[in-house]
């Protein structure tokens, strides 16, 4: 029996996570995510995705972010009918994310088609999939709770452990040829997906009590960076809110609709109650964030102790308070542009490549009273990265805008562990059988820096996974 692996995405880059391990002539895929970044380039990569569907036995989904689940409906559309394994919360989150992606694609096709017709240009672009494909993909998801073992093939066993990244996120512990009587003959693969951070609100810390793996596929998004600590991040948030409100400006926060939006609401609620920030209207302008917040309410199995206590013991809602308004309709969203500040608007997409945040940026980015607050990772070639890097002029929805709003960067809210936190996690888990660490899900400069940090911490057998290159496990 041989085990061969190949990464079709998130190799020497961050998005499009798709990793395959092959047992003889059978394939198993870890995640099936969309590429995100420069629109044309990402679209081409997503359209060129193709594999041997007849050999694909199952897909294992680590969590519900678009760059991990966004191409599952493409598999379904092409006729694949196998099982997709995920935690219950990930199943619900992924369903929301896929449906939202289908709606955005449909909207983009309509909007860009109108633009092309106005200019007298030909337009042939079509969505990758529609809502029916998303429903079909969701119906193929088999729910597997944390710390429960399941055979997904006669010789392959899967167990999920909490990754502490977003609601339902999981480390996928895969055991090939499991034999309780001869564990030394097993091959154990641990796919981290995305690793969360300790002491974050809402969800638990990343799990450390797992069987010792032979190989770890380790994310490296922040492989050469350190985050601000929690206390500093909170002080920065207080300062930014106070300063912008004093100018009667608007704070636009591009945010992923899942986890980051709920976490920001949680913190703003806390700071408002403590009277550390003024009472101002806070708008969560994202239908998916509103829907995701509803999903949070039905998955208490993922909460940390503090949120569990608030929800289950005191019946308080950490995601709803007097200053907070969830907008769902397009009309309500447009009305925000006419309202005077001060106010806070949390809106998706987190990388500023789609969604309602584009319209808020177009309306507010040229006003010096306003603040654009960057709270998460921005992939290369995205509008968010261009704003983050301080470009003085940006293109939004086809038009150029001068950046006069203040751009604030607050990386203490990242849901990804930095290199120090990942090394700390590695030292806490059982690495007695560890043969090699494979670095995935990171830009090459971050991975090269991380490899050096790992070597200094005593982890010397580390390999950066190249894209589209098959290799055999020793």
**Which position has the higher pLDDT, 140 or 311?**
140
209/218 Cα distance (integer angstroms): 17
- The mean per-residue pLDDT over the stretch 5-30 comes to 95
Most confident of 66-70, 111-115, 313-317, 332-336: 66-70
143/137 Cα distance (integer angstroms): 13
Q: What is the DSSP letter of 354?
A: S
pLDDT in tens, 404-430: 999 998 877 888 999 999 999 999 999
Per-residue pLDDT at 74: 97
Residue 380's pLDDT band (cuts 50, 70, 90): confident
Percent of the chain with pLDDT over 90: 65
Percent of the chain with pLDDT over 70: 96
Per-residue pLDDT at 202: 79
Tokens at residue 250, please?
């608007």
Per-residue pLDDT at 379: 78
Question: Residue 417's closest CA among 194, 247, 135?
Answer: 194
258/336 Cα distance (integer angstroms): 22
Per-residue pLDDT at 269: 84
Per-residue pLDDT at 354: 79
Lowest mean pLDDT among 211-225, 311-325, 337-351: 311-325
Residue 317's pLDDT band (cuts 50, 70, 90): low
Q: What sign results for the dihedral spanned by CA atoms 348, 349, 350, 352?
A: negative
Position 26 pLDDT exceeds 90: yes
Per-residue pLDDT at 247: 96
17/2 Cα distance (integer angstroms): 23
Q: At what angle do helices 131-139 and 88-119 cross, to 10 degrees?
A: 160
Helix/strand/coil for 158: strand
- The mean per-residue pLDDT over the stretch 382-405 comes to 92
**Which position has the higher pLDDT, 437 or 231?**
437
Whole-model pTM: value is: 0.86
Taking each continuous run of H as one helix and of E as one strand, the counts in the chain are: 14, 22
Tokens at residue 218, please?
């380790």
- The mean per-residue pLDDT over the stretch 3-18 comes to 96
Give the pairing of strands 3-9 and 471-472: antiparallel
- The mean per-residue pLDDT over the stretch 185-197 comes to 95
Position 315 pLDDT exceeds 70: no
Position 65 pLDDT exceeds 70: yes
Per-residue pLDDT at 294: 76
Helix/strand/coil for 372: strand
Q: Domains of the chain, with CATH numbers?
A: 3-225+415-472 (3.60.15.10), 230-413 (3.40.50.10890)
Per-residue pLDDT at 191: 98
211/176 Cα distance (integer angstroms): 13
For the chain, the average pLDDT equals 90
Position 82 pLDDT exceeds 60: yes
Residue 300's pLDDT band (cuts 50, 70, 90): confident
- The mean per-residue pLDDT over the stretch 355-382 comes to 90
- The mean per-residue pLDDT over the stretch 33-60 comes to 91
**Which position has the higher pLDDT, 454 or 333?**
454
Q: Which residues contact 382 (CB under 8 A, 6 or more apart)?
A: 36, 37, 38, 351, 352, 353
H helix intervals, 365-412: 383-388
- The mean per-residue pLDDT over the stretch 296-320 comes to 68
Position 312 pLDDT exceeds 60: no
pLDDT in tens, 194-225: 999 987 777 899 999 999 999 999 999 999 99
Question: Residue 89's closest CA among 131, 143, 51, 49?
Answer: 143
**Which position has the higher pLDDT, 308 or 208?**
208
């Amino acid at each position: 029996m041989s085990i061969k692996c190949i990464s079709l995405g998130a190799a020497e880059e961050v998005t499009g996570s798709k990793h395959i391990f092959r047992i003889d002539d059978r394939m198993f895929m870890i995640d099936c995510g969309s590429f995100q970044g420069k629109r044309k380039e990402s679209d081409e990569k997503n359209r060129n995705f193709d594999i041997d569907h007849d050999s694909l036995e199952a897909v294992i989904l680590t969590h519900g972010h678009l760059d991990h689940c966004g191409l599952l409906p493409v598999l379904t559309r092409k006729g694949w009918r196998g099982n997709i394994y995920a935690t219950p919360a990930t199943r619900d989150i992924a369903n929301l994310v896929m449906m939202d992606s289908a709606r955005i694609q449909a909207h983009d096709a309509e909007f860009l088609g109108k633009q092309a017709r106005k200019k007298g240009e030909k337009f042939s672009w079509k969505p990758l999939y529609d809502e029916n494909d998303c429903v079909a993909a969701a119906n193929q998801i088999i729910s597997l709770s944390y710390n429960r073992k399941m055979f997904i093939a006669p010789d392959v066993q899967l167990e999920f452990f909490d990754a502490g990244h977003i609601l339902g996120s999981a480390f996928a512990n895969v055991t090939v040829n499991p034999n309780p009587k001869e564990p030394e003959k097993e091959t154990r693969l641990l796919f981290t997906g995305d690793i969360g951070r300790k002491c974050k609100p809402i969800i638990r810390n990343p799990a450390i009590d797992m069987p010792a793996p032979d190989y770890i596929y380790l994310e490296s998004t922040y492989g050469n960076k350190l985050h601000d600590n929690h206390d500093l991040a909170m002080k920065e948030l207080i300062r930014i809110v106070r300063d912008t409100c004093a100018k009667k400006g608007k704070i636009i926060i591009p945010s992923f609709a899942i986890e980051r939006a709920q976490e920001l609401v949680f913190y703003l609620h806390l700071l408002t109650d403590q009277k550390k920030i003024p009472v101002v209207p806070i708008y969560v302008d994202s239908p998916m964030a509103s829907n995701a917040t509803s999903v949070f309410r039905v998955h208490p199995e993922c909460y940390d102790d503090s949120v569990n206590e608030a929800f289950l013991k005191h019946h308080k809602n950490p995601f709803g308070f007097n200053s907070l308004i969830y907008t769902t309709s397009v009309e309500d969203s447009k009305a925000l542009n006419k309202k005077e500040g001060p106010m806070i608007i949390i809106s998706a997409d987190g990388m500023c490549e789609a969604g309602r945040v584009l319209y808020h940026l177009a309306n507010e980015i040229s006003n010096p009273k306003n603040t654009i607050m960057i709270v998460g990772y921005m992939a290369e070639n995205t509008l968010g990265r261009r704003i983050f890097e301080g470009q003085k002029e940006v293109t939004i929805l086809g038009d150029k805008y001068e950046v006069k709003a203040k751009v604030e960067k607050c990386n203490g809210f990242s849901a990804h562990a930095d290199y120090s936190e990942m090394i700390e996690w590695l030292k806490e888990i059982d690495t007695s059988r560890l043969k090699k660490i494979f670095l995935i899900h990171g830009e090459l400069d971050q991975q090269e820096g991380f490899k050096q940090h790992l070597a200094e911490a005593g982890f010397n057998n580390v390999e950066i996974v190249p894209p589209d290159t098959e290799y055999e496990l020793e």
